[in-house]
Amino acid sequence: MNCHNTAIPDVVVIEPQVFGDDRGYFFEAFNQARFSAATGCSKAFIQDNQSRSARGVLRGLHYQIGENAQDKLVRVISGEIFDVAVDIRRNSPTYGQWVGEFLSADNKRQLWVPVGFAHGFIVTSESAEVLYKITGRYDPQAERSIRWDDPQLAIDWPRDGQPLLSSKDAQAPAFADAEVFDA
């Protein structure tokens, strides 16, 4: 497994070693010891989530606060997405900055998005299936979001036209009005 930090060091791209031949391929999608060494996270993942979305669907920017704040390990098993993490830790030197990575079934990359970051993605292929390993339980009372096109964040989403949004995401508050982490 190859791991490298993004422009925001706490967000890590994980690339598995893929063994392939004429029959297909094999790779280790997750190894707790290697993952902990690369990210410093020793928390247990308590849930796996999966979503399927069509081209142009944008999900996010989402996060949870409080005791159910969630670390996320994101990967794509079909299609391609542009995955984004926004630093919402008020006292961080990278507060308000974002990083984006293309994750796909072909490149098999994963993105580690720790607590203190808002997360979102846009589907850049015909459709995409995304898997998330998370460390906190879903708590609708703790759920928060930030507007995907907030001018202060200025995320450069790869898109043609307006993305397809849920009504909740379309009504998300601006970054300046969002409840953030004081870490």
The CATH number linked to 138 is 2.60.120.10
Q: Is residue 143 part of a domain?
A: yes
What's the confidence (pLDDT) of residue 39?
Answer: 85
* Catalytic (active site) residue 119: no
What's the confidence (pLDDT) of residue 123?
Answer: 98
How much is the average pLDDT of 20-48?
86
Considering 25, 62, 119, 138, which one is annotated as catalytic? 62
Structure tokens at 67: 């005791």
Q: Is residue 116 part of a domain?
A: yes
Full residue range of the structural domain in which residue 118 is found = 45-177
Percent with pLDDT over 90 in the chain = 79
Q: Is residue 141 part of a domain?
A: yes
What's the confidence (pLDDT) of residue 183?
Answer: 64
Q: Is residue 1 part of a domain?
A: no
Q: Is residue 31 part of a domain?
A: no
What contacts 22, CB < 8 A, 6 or more positions away?
none
**pLDDT beyond 70 at 36:** yes
* pLDDT confidence tier of residue 17, bands split at 50, 70 and 90: confident
Report the C-alpha gap between 5 and 14 in whole angstroms: 9
How much is the average pLDDT of 33-48?
87
Total residue count of the chain as it appears in this document: 183
Rounded to the nearest integer, the mean pLDDT of the chain is 94
Q: Is 36 helix (H, G, I), strand (E, B) or coil?
A: helix
Number of domains the chain is built from: 1
What's the confidence (pLDDT) of residue 145?
Answer: 97
What's the confidence (pLDDT) of residue 30?
Answer: 84
Contact yes or no for 75/121 (Cβ under 8 A):
no
pLDDT (tens digit, 9 = 90+) per residue, 68-96?
999 999 999 999 999 999 999 999 999 99
* Catalytic (active site) residue 132: yes
pLDDT (tens digit, 9 = 90+) per residue, 103-145?
999 999 999 999 999 999 999 999 999 999 999 999 999 999 9
Q: What are phi and psi of 132, to 5 degrees?
A: -125, 125
Q: Is residue 15 part of a domain?
A: no
Q: Is residue 135 part of a domain?
A: yes
Residue of higher predicted confidence among 41 and 173: 173
Considering 63, 119, 132, 138, which one is annotated as catalytic? 132
How much is the average pLDDT of 159-177?
95
Q: Is 132 helix (H, G, I), strand (E, B) or coil?
A: strand
